[in-house]
């Protein structure tokens, strides 16, 4: 029994094939989905999606969206994503540092919120690279 | 001999004495303007006039051919984007359904049209459908408002439905279309307009020669709840346990907003493709028309040229024969 996973963004289809298991991060924590999961519709937080095919884990960094899990069909709709293998480690690390610096400098509620979001994005991307191994 | 030749010439020349019937028969658009341009008393149309006309028609043909090629290359660029974005709204439809028949009080019609002209009839069809929708849904309890994207629809709708227009957005295609821009736009619309149902009217791109006007419906979360309770297609929604937020309502709200921006993105891309395709076919028929016109003008030109030669010959011959006595 395998799950059919499709990850879609407005610009392209990121992933569309069968997988064994996925680990998704939602607003209420990380959930792991195995075949024959109960149907749920959930919001996807900024985090990494881990996909397992045949004992090999793949990581994709997701930046917010929705997921619907039906009878062995998972549809994830995202605003923006990056495949773990496409991210340049040094650039992501730099982006993380810049985001942290920005957060410390931020003043005012709006800037703080934006800085926090940028930080989470950068952190997600760094995690995606580290988690490949 | 000379007299016989003259008589023959005369017979051949007789039709030319009254240029009006001939030109009216062969090419009516030609008759009035050419008549205007030649001085009274001349028995035939001057070749200069015809030659000027041929030059301008040839230029038009070149321009329309170039426009067609430009439209074809732009179409190729946008087409891949549109096809990639198509996959996105299908899960929404599968989950939330697309209910054009939902009976709601506040309808908002989002009409998507082009900014530039010369693209065939696609903008008129979109406006016609929007107006039809408005008519259907205006009554004691229900009301319909417009949100207009694009200059062409604005020009047509401002004339008779000015009070119903909420928002007008133009010059969408100045920068290449991308999702961030459209999602900001969708955000603006959602903030400023209260709605129970949003109907997006656009031209769906099926192929280079077929553009079908379509209406996509996005319902607000309250209506989704109402329809879900009444069963039917949306009844399945309740079978999904909704996680990931404080309340189910909040998730559905976010979902509806996301759905709207995705559907808008797809609609804008498809409309852009249809615009380029329609422009291609309009320019193509234009250049073909110009080619036909050029052929007819060439025939007229040759006829007038031969007529002037014949006239000269006749004058010379009649002068010579008069001298001979």
- Residue A110 confidence (pLDDT) above 50: yes
State pTM to two decimals.
0.77
A18 and A59 housed in the same domain: yes
- Residue B316 confidence (pLDDT) above 90: yes
A57 and A94 housed in the same domain: no
The residue with greater pLDDT, B16 or B81, is: B81
A64 and A102 housed in the same domain: no
Sort strands A13-19 and B197-207 into parallel, antiparallel or unpaired. unpaired
Q: Which of B243, B254, B255 to mutate to test the interface with A (most CBs of A within 10 A)?
A: B243
Number of domains in chain A: 2
SS3 of A14-64: the string is EEEEEECEEEEEECCEEEEECCCCCCEEEEEEEEEEEEEECCEEEEEEEEE
Mean pLDDT, residues B98-106: 67
A112 at the B interface (CB within 8 A)?
A: no
Shortest alpha-carbon distance between residue B90 and chain A (Å): 10
Percent of chain B topping pLDDT 90: 28
Percent of chain B topping pLDDT 70: 74
Q: What is the pLDDT of residues A35-90, one digit of tens each?
A: 888 888 788 888 888 888 888 888 888 887 888 887 888 888 888 777 766 677 77
CATH of the domain at A39: 2.60.15.10
Domain boundary among A69, A84, A99: A84
A57 and A27 housed in the same domain: yes
SS3 of A73-117: the string is EEEEEECCEEEHHHCCHHHHHHHHHHHHHHHHHCCCHHHHHHHHH
A110 and A75 housed in the same domain: no
Contact B114, B74 (CB under 8 A): no
A29 at the B interface (CB within 8 A)?
A: no
Q: What residues of B are in contact with residue A41 (Cβ under 8 Å)?
A: 95, 237, 240-243, 251, 255
Q: What's residue B26's pLDDT?
A: 43
CATH of the domain at A106: 1.10.287
Contacts of B5 by beta carbon, 8 Å cutoff, 6+ apart? B317
Q: What's residue B243's pLDDT?
A: 60
A77 at the B interface (CB within 8 A)?
A: yes
Question: If pLDDT is split at 50, 70 and 90, which confidence band does B142 have?
Answer: confident
Distance CA B200, CA B188 (A): 15
Quick check: B254 and A66 CB within 8 A?
Answer: yes
A58 and A30 housed in the same domain: yes
Mean pLDDT, residues B136-149: 80
Mean pLDDT, residues B210-232: 75
Q: What's residue B227's pLDDT?
A: 65
Task: Give the containing element (helix H, strand E) for B113.
Answer: none
SS3 B241: strand
Percent of chain A topping pLDDT 90: 0
Q: Which residue of B has its CA nearest to A43?
A: B244
- Residue B22 confidence (pLDDT) above 50: no
Q: What residues of A are in contact with residue B244 (Cβ under 8 Å)?
A: 26-28, 42-45
Q: Which residue of B has its CA nearest to A30?
A: B244
Quick check: B88 and A42 CB within 8 A?
Answer: no
Distance CA A58, CA A63 (A): 16
Quick check: B241 and A38 CB within 8 A?
Answer: yes
A59 and A116 housed in the same domain: no
A42 at the B interface (CB within 8 A)?
A: yes
pLDDT winner (highest mean) among A54-63, B67-76, B227-236: B67-76
Which among A11, A26, A77 has CB closest to B84? A11
Q: What is the pLDDT of residues B288-301, one digit of tens each?
A: 999 999 999 999 99
Q: What's residue A20's pLDDT?
A: 86
Q: CA A28: distance to chain centroid?
A: 14
Quick check: B85 and A27 CB within 8 A?
Answer: no
Domains of chain B (ranges, CATH numbers): 66-234+249-283 (3.40.1380.10)
A14 and A75 housed in the same domain: yes
Which among B92, B178, B243 has CB closest to A42? B243
Q: What's residue B295's pLDDT?
A: 96
Which among A8, A41, A44 has CB closest to B242? A41
Q: What's residue B240's pLDDT?
A: 64
A79 and A92 housed in the same domain: no
Domain boundary among A84, A105, A123: A84
A71 and A101 housed in the same domain: no
Q: Which domain holds residue A48?
A: 3-84
Q: What residues of B are in contact with residue A13 (Cβ under 8 Å)?
A: 84, 87
A9 and A74 housed in the same domain: yes
Quick check: B241 and A39 CB within 8 A?
Answer: yes
Question: Widest CA span of chain B, in angstroms?
Answer: 117
Quick check: B244 and A79 CB within 8 A?
Answer: no
A104 and A115 housed in the same domain: yes
Which among A27, A65, A70 has CB closest to B245? A27
- Residue B13 confidence (pLDDT) above 50: no
pLDDT winner (highest mean) among B110-124, B134-148, B156-170: B110-124
Angle at the Cα of A73 (from A67 to B183), degrees rounded to 5?
Answer: 30
Alpha-carbon Rg for chain B in angstroms? 31
């Amino acid at each position: 029994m395998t799950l059919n996973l499709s990850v879609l963004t407005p610009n392209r289809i990121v992933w569309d094939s069968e997988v064994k298991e996925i680990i998704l991060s939602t607003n209420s924590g990380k959930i792991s989905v195995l075949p024959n999961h109960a149907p749920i519709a959930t919001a996807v937080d900024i985090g990494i999606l881990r996909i397992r095919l045949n004992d090999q884990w793949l990581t994709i960094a997701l930046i917010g969206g929705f997921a619907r899990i039906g009878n062995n069909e998972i549809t994830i709709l995202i605003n923006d994503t990056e495949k773990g293998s496409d991210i340049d480690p040094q650039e992501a690390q730099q982006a993380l540092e810049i985001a942290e610096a920005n957060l410390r400098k931020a003043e005012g509620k709006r800037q703080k919120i934006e800085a926090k979001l940028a930080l989470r994005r950068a952190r997600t991307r760094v995690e995606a690279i580290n988690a490949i191994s | 001999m000379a007299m016989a030749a003259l008589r023959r010439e005369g017979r051949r020349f007789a039709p030319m004495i009254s240029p009006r019937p001939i030109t009216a028969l062969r090419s009516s658009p030609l008759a009035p303007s050419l008549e205007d341009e030649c001085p009274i008393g001349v028995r035939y149309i001057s070749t200069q006039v015809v030659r000027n006309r041929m030059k301008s028609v040839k230029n038009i043909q070149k321009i329309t051919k170039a426009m067609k090629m430009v439209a074809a290359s732009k179409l190729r660029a946008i087409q891949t984007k549109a096809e990639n974005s198509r996959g996105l709204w299908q899960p929404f439809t599968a989950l939330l359904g697309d209910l054009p028949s939902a009976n709601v009080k506040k309808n908002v019609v989002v009409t998507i049209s082009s900014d530039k002209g010369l693209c065939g009839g696609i903008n008129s069809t979109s406006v016609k459908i929007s107006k039809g929708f408005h008519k259907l849904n205006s009554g004691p309890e229900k009301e319909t408002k417009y949100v207009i994207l694009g200059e062409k629809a604005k020009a047509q709708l401002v004339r008779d439905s000015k009070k119903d227009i909420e928002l007008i957005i133009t010059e969408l295609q100045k920068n290449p279309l991308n999702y961030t821009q459209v999602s900001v736009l969708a955000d603006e619309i959602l903030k400023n307009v209260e709605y129970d149902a949003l109907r997006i009217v656009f031209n769906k791109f099926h192929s280079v020669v077929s553009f079908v006007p379509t209406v996509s419906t996005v319902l607000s979360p309250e209506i989704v709840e109402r329809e879900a309770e009444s069963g039917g297609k949306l009844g399945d929604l309740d079978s999904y346990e909704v996680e990931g937020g404080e309340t189910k309502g909040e998730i559905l709200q976010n979902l509806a907003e996301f759905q709207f921006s995705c559907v808008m993105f797809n609609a804008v891309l498809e409309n852009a493709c249809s615009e380029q395709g329609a422009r291609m076919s309009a320019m193509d028929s234009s250049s073909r028309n110009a080619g036909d016109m050029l052929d007819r003008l060439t025939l007229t030109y040759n006829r007038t040229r031969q007529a002037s030669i014949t006239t000269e010959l006749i004058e010379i011959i009649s002068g010579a024969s008069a001298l001979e006595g």
